[in-house]
């Protein structure tokens, strides 16, 4: 039990140390050594006996001997259909190496595995990631998006493997060539699609901002389109067209989010866009701008300035979308106020920290103690107004806890929210707030600031000059139906949460 492992892991060549087989071997060797030597001699002996019995008698290994005429792939898929579910990455790997063996035997398999496939077994690619209610390994998600990128067709997760095989057969390319393409696309996927926009501090260009904000909006359907845009095997897209491409996608996504337009069918929309850009990628920005500007259907249209104004000025902002999305919008406003307009670099030198600040109601939701009603406003109107965009700002966690339900101006022995924010905060969003409300913060000022911030939002997420929506959307008709499933989808509720009526007359509902 005190014997050393026959393998010195430090002497194993570095190129093999990234493999799952190596890491698993080292893990079990180290864990077994620790488990066997961490107790008294009597317990050590019992543990050693138990380990020997387990390895010799309790672990069952099935070996299937195949004749040359047997189809290993078919047998593998049959076993899979009757047993535990395998992900697309498992099925694709088996298929890929079967084809590689047919092309060049074990030597080619080893070469391709080492040069192009080994990366898919590193921690990044085997980590589970959530898309909606489902979880997939990152590699499976990549294969899904890669097949969409290659075929410009809409598909569901269960079709990935079969569509991958169809593409392989129709492409007439050697599997070794396809795996190299897969590997290059995987590098793009990791660096420019998944990890781009990760930094909480510092500047991000339009590409990085789109990735960051799409992640907040939980929108992954743009990824096949991004693989196309960054494909190193194709001609480069001019910078001005690329910038427009990022700006248009973000504007379309954010504006639809803000007016609560449906997200159903986004996969089909972006597959349609992908097919059009494949025809003339040098004009990717203009193509996508013209495409969205021409949509006049509720599931695909690009909300115009009038609808944005009606939605944000007439309805609550807080609670209507998730807190992460609310913060994202306020961060964008802060950046704009600092001079970060479009792809230009601000003289202020830095963007606001991302995913860091907390959302604060300037006039608190529990306003009754320190915030008397303004003339002309009743209690119901006040409860609605405090949730408007103009009553929200960003504060650090510490300052947010400190000011919470304070009055706006100081009382004897107790500084007000105005003084506390003025003393401790550096955001442009709050400097402009304080300058506009030196004496009081009222319902009327909330409405006034709401309109000001709407103008900033219209400038950040622009539409083409003269763009208008010609059909009557639900927002234009002032018809908004919110169901429990919508609240769950946007993070306003979590499963199992108890809901209580705020208004007394509905307390028994």
Q: Is the pLDDT of residue 365 over 90?
A: yes
Which residue in 132, 143, 125 sits closest to 88, CA to CA?
143
CA separation for the pair 278, 148 (Å, rounded): 12
Amino acid 486: pLDDT: 56
pLDDT band at 221 (very low <50, low <70, confident <90, very high): very high
Range 285-308 average pLDDT: 96
Given a cut of 70, whether residue 123 has pLDDT beyond it is yes
Tokens of 289: 């701008």
Average pLDDT on 220-234 reads: 96
What pLDDT shows up at residue 46?
85
Average pLDDT over residues 264-268: 93
pLDDT of 377 above 70:
yes
pTM: 0.81
What does the alpha-carbon distance between residue 83 and residue 109 come to, in Å, rounded to a whole number?
A: 27
Cβ neighbours around 252 below 10 Å, total: 26
Total residues found in the chain within this entry: 509
DSSP annotation string for 101-156: HHHHHHHHHHHHIIIIIGGGGSHHHHSEEEETTEEEEHHHHHHHHHHHHHH-----
Triad 198, 201, 205: Cα angle to 5°: 70
Cα–Cα distance measured from residue 349 to residue 340, given in angstroms and rounded to the nearest whole number: 9
| Dihedral of the alpha carbons of 372, 374, 377, 381, in degrees to the nearest 10 | -60
Kind and range of the H or E run holding 394: strand 392-395
pLDDT band at 67 (very low <50, low <70, confident <90, very high): low
Region label for 507, one of left (φ > 0), alpha (ψ between -120 and 50) or beta (otherwise): alpha
Contact 92, 161 (CB under 8 A): yes
Per-residue confidence (pLDDT) for residue 65, from 0 to 100:
67
Contacts of 495 (CB under 8 A, 6+ apart): 488
Q: Where residue 40 falls among pLDDT bands split at 50, 70, 90? A: confident
Rg (CA), the chain: 29
Q: What mean pLDDT value characterizes the chain? A: 87
Predicted pLDDT at 503: 57
Half-sphere exposure at residue 231, Cβ-oriented, CA atoms within 13 angstroms: 20
Sign of CA dihedral 111, 116, 119, 120: negative
Q: Is the confidence at residue 299, as pLDDT, over 70?
A: yes
């Amino acid at each position: 039990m005190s014997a050393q492992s026959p393998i010195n892991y430090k002497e194993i060549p570095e190129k093999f140390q990234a493999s799952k087989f190596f890491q698993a071997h080292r893990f079990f060797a180290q864990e077994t050594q620790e488990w066997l030597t961490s107790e008294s001699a009597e317990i050590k002996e019992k543990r050693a006996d138990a380990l020997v019995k387990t390895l010799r008698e309790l672990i069952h290994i099935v070996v299937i001997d195949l004749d040359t005429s047997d189809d290993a792939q078919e047998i593998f898929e049959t076993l899979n259909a009757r047993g535990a579910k395998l992900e697309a990455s498992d099925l694709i790997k088996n298929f890929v190496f079967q084809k590689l063996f047919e092309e060049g035997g074990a030597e080619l398999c080893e070469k391709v595995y080492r040069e192009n496939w080994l990366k898919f077994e590193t921690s990044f690619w085997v980590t589970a990631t959530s898309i909606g209610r489902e979880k997939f390994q990152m590699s499976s998600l990549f294969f899904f998006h890669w097949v969409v990128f290659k075929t410009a067709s809409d598909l569901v997760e269960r079709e990935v493997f079969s569509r991958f095989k169809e593409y392989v057969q129709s492409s007439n390319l050697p599997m070794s060539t396809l795996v190299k393409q897969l590997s290059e696309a995987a590098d793009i996927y990791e660096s420019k699609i998944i990890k781009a926009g990760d930094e909480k501090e510092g500047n991000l260009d339009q590409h990085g901002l789109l990735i960051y904000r799409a992640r907040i909006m939980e929108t992954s359907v743009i990824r096949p389109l991004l693989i196309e845009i960054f494909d190193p095997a194709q001609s480069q897209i001019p910078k001005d067209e690329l910038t427009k491409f990022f700006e248009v996608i973000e504007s379309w996504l954010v504006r639809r989010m803000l007016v609560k337009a449906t997200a159903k069918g986004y996969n089909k929309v972006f597959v349609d866009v992908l097919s059009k850009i494949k025809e003339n990628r040098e004009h990717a920005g203009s193509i996508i701008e013209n495409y969205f500007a021409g949509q006049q259907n509720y599931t695909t249209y690009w909300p115009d300035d009038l609808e944005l104004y009606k939605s944000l000025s007439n309805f609550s902002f807080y609670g209507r979308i998730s807190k992460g999305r609310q913060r994202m919008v306020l961060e964008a406003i802060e950046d704009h106020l600092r001079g970060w307009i479009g792809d230009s670099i601000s003289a202020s030198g830095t963007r606001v920290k991302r995913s860091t600040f907390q959302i604060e109601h300037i006039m608190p939701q529990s306003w009754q103690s320190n915030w008397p009603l303004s003339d002309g406003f009743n209690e119901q109107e006040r409860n609605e107004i405090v949730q408007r965009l103009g009553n929200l700002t960003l504060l650090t966690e510490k300052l947010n806890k400190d000011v919470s339900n304070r009055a706006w101006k100081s009382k004897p022995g107790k500084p007000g929210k105005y003084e506390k924010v003025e003393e401790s905060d550096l955001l442009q969003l709050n400097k402009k707030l304080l300058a506009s409300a030196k004496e009081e913060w009222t319902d009327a000022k909330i409405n006034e600031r709401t309109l000001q911030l709407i103008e900033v939002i219209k400038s950040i997420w622009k539409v083409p000059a003269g763009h208008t929506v010609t059909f009557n959307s639900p927002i234009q008709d002032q018809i908004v139906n919110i169901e429990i499933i919508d609240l769950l989808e946007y993070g306003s509720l979590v499963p199992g949460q108890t809901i209580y009526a705020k208004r007394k007359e509905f307390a028994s509902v």
